[in-house]
Amino acid sequence: MELIDGKGLAETIKNEIAEEVTQIKTVGGKIPHLAAVLIGDDPASQAYVRNKVRSCEKVGFKSTLVRRPATITETELVRIIEDLNDDDDIDGFIVQLPLPKHINEENITLAIDPRKDVDGFHPANFGRMALGLPAYLPATPFGIIQMLERYDIETSGKHCVVVGRSNIVGTPIAIMLSRKGKVGNCTVTVTHSRTKDLKAETLRADIIIAAIGRAKFITADMVKDGAVVIDVGINRVDDVKARRGYRLKGDVDFKKVAPKCSYITPVPGGVGPMTVTALLMNTLKASKKSIYG
């Protein structure tokens, strides 16, 4: 069993990005600039956004944090997005999800200029991704692809089972892995809450992508010997002994599943750090205008 060190790989890629930023500064080019919009005070969202802003600083990007209370109206939020769309210094921006219930996430996503949509959530980017055209790839699937590529894990002809069909992970990773490409050419099965016999499906998998959002959901009896297991879960599980009163647990019962795997990602230190790094990669692409010209 080999552990996929997402944290270490994320550091390596961030160093590569930092080097490129240094080069850009040397020639007097434009410093990449990411903005993040954070609505309300959900602790997990605050932590994610803090991490994104800190990562920008680490690689030498500019960053702007726009914070508003959960009482903001949809119209006010759309106005903020329009201002970010029009701001020439900002190369890309994200609106952290989830949003308060009175705000329609679809309307917000549609308000973002696809050229600045470094989350890859806008239908224009999602559609381009599905067609294999240049696009901002959603950060978590993009991070997973990077891990598979840099660890030289064969995907061509492999059977990949995706557990979960969310718009931001399950559905896009299923499309990306099924397409032609250096990492791709998989036969993909997407499973979800209505799947009849989940265990029968996961037992057939050479590669399992667990993106269900439930701690220890994937157990050892569901995994074939030698499988590659990518754990996308970041579940907060109460633990009075932990410093913060909770521990982060993946969707996979790591202790029991790991001995069966050829490769597995830990939580924390696996997919999470790669997601942030993928966002930085998209922001660098935005500043170089390499997707839309």
Q: Give the 3-state secondary structure of residue 229.
A: strand
Options 119, 206, 231, 251, the catalytic residue: 119
Site string for ligand GUN, 152-171 (x = CB under 6 A): ----------------x---
Active site residue 119: yes
| 77 is a contact residue toward ligand GUN (CB under 6 A) | no
By the 10 Å C-beta count (0-12 exposed, 13-18 middle, 19+ buried), 65 is classed as middle
- The residue length of the chain stands at 293
Segment interacting with ligand GUN (CB under 6 A) among 20-28, 95-103, 209-217, 254-262: 95-103
Number of residues that bind ligand GUN (CB under 6 A): 8
Choice between 98 and 226, CB closer to ligand GUN: 98
Active site residue 52: yes
Query: Contacts with ligand GUN in 108-147 (CB under 6 A)?
Result: 119, 139-140
Residue located via tokens 């002994």: 241
Residue 97 Cβ vs ligand GUN, minimum distance, rounded to whole Å:
4
Options 14, 52, 116, 249, the catalytic residue: 52
Active site residue 152: no
Which of 55, 96, 202, 265 is in the footprint of ligand GUN by CB under 6 A?
96
| 274 is a contact residue toward ligand GUN (CB under 6 A) | no
CB under 8 A, 24+ apart: contacts of 128-134: 129/172, 129/175, 129/176, 130/175, 132/179, 132/180, 132/181, 134/290, 134/291, 134/292
- How far, in whole angstroms, is CA 50 from its chain's centroid? 15
| 95 is a contact residue toward ligand GUN (CB under 6 A) | yes
Residue 279 Cβ vs ligand GUN, minimum distance, rounded to whole Å:
7
Q: Which residue is nearest to ligand GUN (CB)?
A: 97
Determine contact, residues 107/49, Cβ cutoff 8 Å: no
Choice between 166 and 262, CB closer to ligand GUN: 166
Segment interacting with ligand GUN (CB under 6 A) among 13-21, 93-101, 171-179, 236-244: 93-101
Q: Where are the alpha helices (DSSP H) in the chain?
A: 6-26, 43-59, 74-86, 105-111, 123-131, 139-150, 170-178, 198-202, 254-257, 271-287
Q: Give the 3-state secondary structure of residue 281.
A: helix
For residue 292, what are the CA distances in angstroms to 116, 134, 151? 10, 8, 29
The upper half-sphere exposure of residue 10, i.e. CA atoms within 13 Å in the direction of its Cβ, equals 28
Residues assigned a catalytic role: 52, 96, 119
Summarize as ranges the residues that interact with ligand GUN (CB under 6 A): 94-97, 119, 139-140, 168
